[in-house]
Structure 1
């Protein structure tokens, strides 16, 4: 042993002998705080517990200095002291739920130049803060490459996390960390994921070739700057239930599904990013208050333009918004806004500036009916314009029928449609007819045509087409059709107010891939032979003329309707002979006949819609097959869900059907349907079945004064199936088996409320006979969760384990408690494991309570290992 200073020594280790020790652990055991342990090249088969402040450094580096777990059931390096440095090792061999380098409740440690490979976890920080990880490689681990859990104020720089079988770098419940210049590639899941983690900074990281680039879930106030998120199989950047984050100067490119995905994420700032993906943005749920651009200011933006503003929106095929829209004044900001959905708009999207752009788009043509501009009519300005010109229309009233036959931007100078009005000169003609592509009409009032306010595409037998137009911020009123699209695709209709027309918006004759967003419509939206359109965040109300709020008919397929509000129509949404459409998160209220009606429709999906207060029917399925209704809420209608006349093979799953006349009604040869997981309560009758057979009706919750009734005036008896085979799986009441249905009444006298369950399996001991042809052979009942007691097995070291065998009839939500009459226990955390699943339960009650709080045990059957950490107050 050589002496370095009076305060610290240098200890040597060589597995071949000739040094102070042949194992690292022996050197640690014989060291004192502040010592340096130099490890010579070799392979060290050991698990090293570092419980002193030490500098452990290899002399030859990670390529020749290997530390391999002697026991794969333990961490390779287990660090519990502060001020430790681990430098220059290859670390491998930690098995199930163990890490190559593990830091537990310690701080101010440095991990540097290590290759941590072929472990379960690579590097795992648990309740450890103010540590520095630099120039490490975490690769080929069975789970996460680098994991920070409840670990704050750490710095991760210049690390590589590649080819791990889960997440490259994962932060859970970890705040105020810095991740900079890390390279995270080819991991099975996310490159970088933050869960319940806030105030972190991610700067200049590369996240490529993963399932997802950078993911934030329930994570707020983070900053992402100068990162690259590219070539993922899913999202480049994901924000899920995450708010108040800032994303600037990032490159998000070539991701397969979407560049950036937001779900229920609000008040984020997302600007000066470069997006180049086949689909740049996807928004689900409610995403309000997000800011997609800064205030326009001089400064080089991410596209090289002279002004900061919003984001650059490109596509690999060259059809992105920023690639197809111009800056007529050469400022590098598109002349029109880019609307993502009704709540999210980039008002200053970036574009390129080239010499040819300046030459071809520099002309702005002005129109003023008072004679003080270039032209007094819009038509004259169009006739004089070159493709790409902008036509600014000053306030006034322009009486003309306008034919647009070239690519131009027509917008009001004021931006206010109330003072810039275009009305039909010939009332039986259109106001605007578009026979060109890439036309923008913005900020105008368009009115008083017996034909169409705006028509794009085919017109009166012509074979014209018009695609990729933008109609935004207009008022359209007093026309036959407000906007009519025929053979017209790729258009954006955003933030228009369309009322007082016979039909507000008509899309027909194979008009596809249009986006209708955030429009206020009072005369219906009709789609005929139109495909692949997206209707989102529109508000559709009725007037005297409208048949339906939204109508899809005659081979209208693969359309998406989401987040629309449909009020006070005869029929809210109607699908006639329409297929493969998807309706999500729509609200349909106060319809006089049907909230939603399917007539000859097939293979449509309805998810998370709310249908309420329809006078006759909430949802009607008429001569329609193979449709799926899932997670819908159907309230206070005449009949909740009504299947009639050969409506077969439909699936109704996990719907809430309450406060209706009849909850669900099956009539006239509505056969082979499946009803599972539905809550059917507080209706006059829960389910009514007449002349309909072979329906599978199981795992539903019925709680109505009359739960079931069968029609008696028809030729064919109704013989249906009311239970599946008893199967080990959580049922609608939380019990361990699927079987039949739960039959309750508001008075507590229902069959399932009063039956016996002698074996405690959650299945009534006897069948429930509904009528002569219908029996629920496995009706469900409730079982009470058993209370389990576990006694502390901890000794003087303050740790303990207990194994609990759950009986076969155990269910989730079991209550676990630690008994300690002396009240000297403080439970820190709980983990449970079963068949490879491990999760950490919430932190326990206050110190000294001696109680483990209640938690859910899933799955409930089998041997569960409950591991809990106990601090005895007397031992600290």
Structure 2
């Protein structure tokens, strides 16, 4: 009866799978020529998986029974084999904290139906370490490893499908250094300390139909191009649902809850990010667009190398970054509510107007790398950092900055005007850092929690020349206000 069950599993594998919109080509060499059995009570069955692999011929199938589980061994598959577990929940391979659970060094290997756990703790020790092509890793549980699945350096046409990967020390799935044309399909990847899926310097991979939750980042594309990311569910990943660094990637039809997208690209890089939703509202992504007003209710707004865009009357909550401006200039952000995000506004560009917004309960209310930007008339409260400013010649005025852990930090910026603001009940109201030789920032006519007779001392630091030596430094608000402003 068990052999009939095993034959059925193999026939299902050989039948293949169809992914909507894509023809996935593989060249698996396993041809079901012979059967070997591990565990169970049959005559001649093997007691270890590695001994069966050693005796197998390319194209053989090794079927592993669960009644002798767990199998305490780390195994190396160095020939084209089908390695099939009886039941993915009860057929356990445990590496005992040493090396990889399974290392694949031959093309055309299939691994299906196992729980793989307890790899070694060093970098790139994994539940499955693939240094081969055309492998199929499907329908496994992978947990408590350093990495879940690794594909390392110039490997292609591997399929990772319908696996559950959790509780890794690093990433759920990692593709490294020109590991191209691989497919990551319909996996559940959650609760990993690193990223759910990370691609580093890779091309033309497909990430489709996965569920990624409670990872550091759901998907991290690092210097990776022409990736197709579609129909994934991303929920409550700590930093971002997807971080895009690279060009010619397509990110479409994904669903985000309690996270979103962060884009880090140069002016020559472009990506297609379309038809995604954040918290059941549209993710608005504009790339090299000018002269537009965004008034449609969005779940997240990202502007990449745009100009003269107005963002108004939005309620942007529970996402990675409410509004991101990357390399964009001359934009207006007015009358919006940004709350309970990692960043309320993340801004990189020049000559913006940020006015009359309510910015509450974010890790970072406003993070700005900018020049000649006006931040005026905003309520900035209960954030970890109210305003974190890097830049020159900006104006921060008529804001209520209250109940933040750090109200305002001017980081290596100079000649900024900070005036007519109410600083109220922040753990630290304000601070700064400057380079030696920079012009000072102008602090004047701010209210600092209580009436003051003498100038308000503002503590900061100065970096000396090109060194990394910082010394304590001070600025003054020479005319602190005696009572708070009535800012509407």
Tell me which interval the TM-score lies in, with the shorter structure as reference length: 0.5 to 0.7
Matched, 1:281 2:301: yes
Deviation, 1:645, is: 12
Match in the other structure for 2:430: 627
Match in the other structure for 1:139: 166
Q: Matches of 2:188 and 2:109 in 1, distance apart?
A: 21
Which of 39, 58, 62 is the equivalent residue of 1:14?
Answer: 39
Structure-2 change in CA distance of 1:19 and 1:161 (3 Å):
farther
Q: Matches of 2:89 and 2:170 in 1, distance apart?
A: 23
Q: Matches of 2:301 and 2:246 in 1, distance apart?
A: 19
Deviation, 1:563, is: 3.6
Q: How many residues align?
A: 387
The secondary structure found in structure 1 opposite 2:393 is: strand
Q: Matches of 2:324 and 2:137 in 1, distance apart?
A: 46
- Choose between structure 1 and 2 for higher RCO, CA contacts under 8 A separated by at least 6 residues: 2
User: 1:680·1:701 contact (CA, 8 Å) conserved in 2?
Assistant: no
> CA offsets, 1:198-249, max 9 Å, x none?
11001111111222453224322110111111123xxx11112363111111
The secondary structure found in structure 1 opposite 2:53 is: helix
1:370-519 aligned at under 5 Å gives the runs 490=335
Deviation, 1:159, is: 1.2
The secondary structure found in structure 2 opposite 1:193 is: strand
The secondary structure found in structure 2 opposite 1:627 is: strand
Matched, 1:108 2:134: yes
Deviation, 1:139, is: 2.1
Q: List alignment gaps of at least 5 residues for structure 2.
A: 1-9, 11-29, 318-322, 338-348, 360-364, 449-453, 474-488
Structure-2 change in CA distance of 1:173 and 1:15 (3 Å):
farther
Q: Which structure is higher in strand share?
A: 2
Matched, 1:171 2:199: yes
In the superposition, the TM-score normalised over structure 2's length comes to 0.63
Deviation, 1:340, is: 7.7
User: 1:53·1:81 contact (CA, 8 Å) conserved in 2?
Assistant: yes
User: 2:336·2:358 contact (CA, 8 Å) conserved in 1?
Assistant: no
Q: Matches of 1:626 and 1:248 in 2, distance apart?
A: 40
Match in the other structure for 1:31: 56
Match in the other structure for 2:440: 641
Q: Matches of 1:241 and 1:217 in 2, distance apart?
A: 8
Match in the other structure for 1:248: 274
Which of 56, 59, 84 is the equivalent residue of 2:109?
Answer: 84
User: 2:275·2:283 contact (CA, 8 Å) conserved in 1?
Assistant: no
Match in the other structure for 2:246: 219
Deviation, 1:116, is: 1.1
Structure-2 change in CA distance of 1:221 and 1:671 (3 Å):
same
Higher-Rg member (1/2) = 1
Q: Matches of 2:387 and 2:414 in 1, distance apart?
A: 14
Which of 372, 383, 388 is the equivalent residue of 1:565?
Answer: 372
Structure-2 change in CA distance of 1:16 and 1:153 (3 Å):
same
Match in the other structure for 2:221: 194
Q: Matches of 1:139 and 1:64 in 2, distance apart?
A: 17
Deviation, 1:41, is: 2.3
> CA offsets, 1:4-44, max 9 Å, x none?
99994322222656343111100111122222212222311
Matched, 1:679 2:464: yes
The secondary structure found in structure 2 opposite 1:153 is: coil
Which of 673, 686, 700 is the equivalent residue of 2:470?
Answer: 700
User: 2:36·2:63 contact (CA, 8 Å) conserved in 1?
Assistant: yes
Match in the other structure for 1:584: 389
Structure-2 change in CA distance of 1:214 and 1:533 (3 Å):
closer
User: 1:76·1:93 contact (CA, 8 Å) conserved in 2?
Assistant: yes
Structure-2 change in CA distance of 1:597 and 1:191 (3 Å):
closer
> CA offsets, 1:331-369, max 9 Å, x none?
xxxxxxx998994899xxxxxxxxxxxxxxxxxxxxxxx
User: 1:161·1:185 contact (CA, 8 Å) conserved in 2?
Assistant: yes
The secondary structure found in structure 2 opposite 1:86 is: strand
Match in the other structure for 1:605: 409
Q: Matches of 1:22 and 1:169 in 2, distance apart?
A: 35
Deviation, 1:634, is: 6.1
> CA offsets, 1:89-144, max 9 Å, x none?
1111213132111112x111111111112222211211232101111111233332
User: 1:238·1:261 contact (CA, 8 Å) conserved in 2?
Assistant: no
User: 1:644·1:670 contact (CA, 8 Å) conserved in 2?
Assistant: no
Q: Matches of 1:220 and 1:18 in 2, distance apart?
A: 57
Q: Matches of 2:101 and 2:336 in 1, distance apart?
A: 59
Q: Matches of 2:314 and 2:36 in 1, distance apart?
A: 59
Deviation, 1:626, is: 5.3
Q: Matches of 2:239 and 2:99 in 1, distance apart?
A: 31
1:231-242 aligned at under 5 Å gives the runs 231-232=258-259, 236-241=260-265
User: 1:239·1:261 contact (CA, 8 Å) conserved in 2?
Assistant: no
> CA offsets, 1:137-185, max 9 Å, x none?
1123333222222221101111111222332222222221001111112
User: 1:50·1:79 contact (CA, 8 Å) conserved in 2?
Assistant: yes
Deviation, 1:253, is: 1.5
Q: Matches of 2:411 and 2:325 in 1, distance apart?
A: 22
Match in the other structure for 2:183: 155
Structure-2 change in CA distance of 1:114 and 1:315 (3 Å):
same
The secondary structure found in structure 2 opposite 1:641 is: coil
Structure-2 change in CA distance of 1:88 and 1:315 (3 Å):
same
Deviation, 1:699, is: 3.4
In the superposition, the TM-score normalised over structure 1's length comes to 0.37
> CA offsets, 1:721-773, max 9 Å, x none?
xxxxxxxxxxxxxxxxxxxxxxxxxxxxxxxxxxxxxxxxxxxxxxxxxxxxx
